[in-house]
Structure 1
């Protein structure tokens, strides 16, 4: 069952990536990020109020958001800080790079998760899983050569470095998720609500320094329908992902790989919608990435 939940998370993540590209294109990154996270958080507030005033009803319908200790708040704040940094870097990179370059690099996230799962959680990979992960990494390297034809030099472009660091931080957060869900027994809605709360606070502090005081930047910001759409789609993806992690048998390394199937939507549909270059050549490493994911699932 947890694998099917992982596929649902991948579906919503793929749609989330398309909306995110539309939201940041020619727009101010920080307020877009605040708008996306804030939209998801506003969607959760009625569930929180229901949990406070009618806890039995919320528990019965599976939308309960529990009160937690200050220690747990500290653990969730750490996750919020990691993901806030990852999103800031990823959104900046997405603003300056084609989605068909950004998404495949992000697909290398399972490799970092894979290593962490072995060292931290002692998950045991087999031969096919090894082959699958290295095939994904090799395919991502192929994208670097294609990117050069679009004027993107991977060794010198700062946005490439930004998306690589964002990918590493995102993978670290994924490993941390297993600790929060399986070891601290946080429920999906409780984790998502307080995580979103702290991310919004972090972004408000950043924007109070870098954006709110500057009238020109405020005027440059464009509100788009895709901004709240990103928040709701990400909320949906996180819910199914955390539900999958609640299963004691769920392996974080495999869940991370299953989520990469979002690349089908991002590269194939996104390449057509945003009319990006070299779509046919990008299909070659795309097939490699999908084959790597297949080997992991088949194993």
Structure 2
């Protein structure tokens, strides 16, 4: 069951990436990110209110937000800091790079998760799983050759390093999620609500320095409905992902790989919608990435 929940998370993540690319075009990254988190928070706020004033009803429908100790709040705040840094880097990179370059680099996330799963959770890969991950990394490197044809030199482009940093932080957060869900026994909606709350506070501090004091920046901001779409789709994807992690048999390295199937939406539909270059050539390494994911899935059954 957790594998199907992972595939649902991948579906909503792919749609989320398309909305995110549209939302950041011509906009400052921080207010867009702030808007997406507000949208996600407002989606979850009725659940929090219902949990306080109608707990029996909220428990009955399976969306009760539990009371947690301050120590657990501290752990969630750490996750918020990690993901805020990852999103800031990712949004900046997405603003300056084609989605068909950004999405495949992000697909290297399972490699970092894979290593962390071995070292931290003692998850043991087999030979075919190693082949699958090596194939994913090799396919991502092929994108660097395609990127040069679009004027993107990977060694000299700071936004490439930004998306690599975002990928590493995102993978770290994924490993941390397993601890929060399986060791602290947080349910998805409780983790999501407080995560959104603390991330809002972090971004509010950043905006107070970089955006609010500058009228020209505020006037240049363009609201788009995709900003709301990013927040809603992300929370939906996270809910299915956290539900999958609640299964004690779920492997974080396998879930991370399953989520990479979002590339089909990001690269194929994204390339068509945003009319980006070299779409056919990018399909070759995309097939390599998907084959790597398939090998991991096949070897894990």
Q: 2: CA distance between counterparts of 1:14 and 1:127?
A: 29
- 1:193-212 superposed matches below 5 A: 193-212=193-212
Q: 2: CA distance between counterparts of 1:45 and 1:246?
A: 22
Q: 2: CA distance between counterparts of 1:286 and 1:144?
A: 13
Q: 2: CA distance between counterparts of 1:220 and 1:72?
A: 39
Instruction: Name stretches of at least 5 consecutive residues in structure 1 with no aligned partner.
Output: none
Please name the residue that 1:230 is paired with: 230
Instruction: Name stretches of at least 5 consecutive residues in structure 2 with no aligned partner.
Output: none
Please name the residue that 2:190 is paired with: 190
Aligned residues: 299
Displacement of 1:57 in angstroms is 1.0
Q: 1: CA distance between counterparts of 2:3 and 2:68?
A: 29
Displacement of 1:149 in angstroms is 0.6
Please name the residue that 1:155 is paired with: 155
Please name the residue that 1:13 is paired with: 13
Q: 1: CA distance between counterparts of 2:55 and 2:68?
A: 14
Please name the residue that 2:128 is paired with: 128
**Secondary structure of 1:13's partner?**
helix
Show CA shifts across 1:231-258 (max 9, x none): 0000000000000000000000000000
**Secondary structure of 1:9's partner?**
helix
- 1:1-299 superposed matches below 5 A: 1-299=1-299
Q: 1: CA distance between counterparts of 2:113 and 2:26?
A: 32
Displacement of 1:67 in angstroms is 1.3
Q: 2: CA distance between counterparts of 1:221 and 1:95?
A: 14
Q: 1: CA distance between counterparts of 2:159 and 2:182?
A: 35
**Secondary structure of 2:71's partner?**
helix
Show CA shifts across 1:160-180 (max 9, x none): 000000000000000000000
Displacement of 1:59 in angstroms is 0.9
Displacement of 1:23 in angstroms is 0.2
Show CA shifts across 1:117-176 (max 9, x none): 000000011111101001000000000011011000101100000000000000000000
Q: 2: CA distance between counterparts of 1:194 and 1:125?
A: 33
**Secondary structure of 1:151's partner?**
coil
Q: 1: CA distance between counterparts of 2:286 and 2:164?
A: 18
Displacement of 1:66 in angstroms is 1.0
Considering only aligned residues, what root-mean-square deviation do their CA atoms show, in Å?
A: 0.4
Query: Given the two structures, how large is their TM-score scaled by the length of structure 1?
Result: 1.00
Displacement of 1:31 in angstroms is 0.3
Q: 2: CA distance between counterparts of 1:56 and 1:126?
A: 46
Q: 2: CA distance between counterparts of 1:9 and 1:132?
A: 21
Q: 1: CA distance between counterparts of 2:82 and 2:67?
A: 22
Q: 2: CA distance between counterparts of 1:171 and 1:7?
A: 18
Query: Given the two structures, how large is their TM-score scaled by the length of structure 2?
Result: 0.99
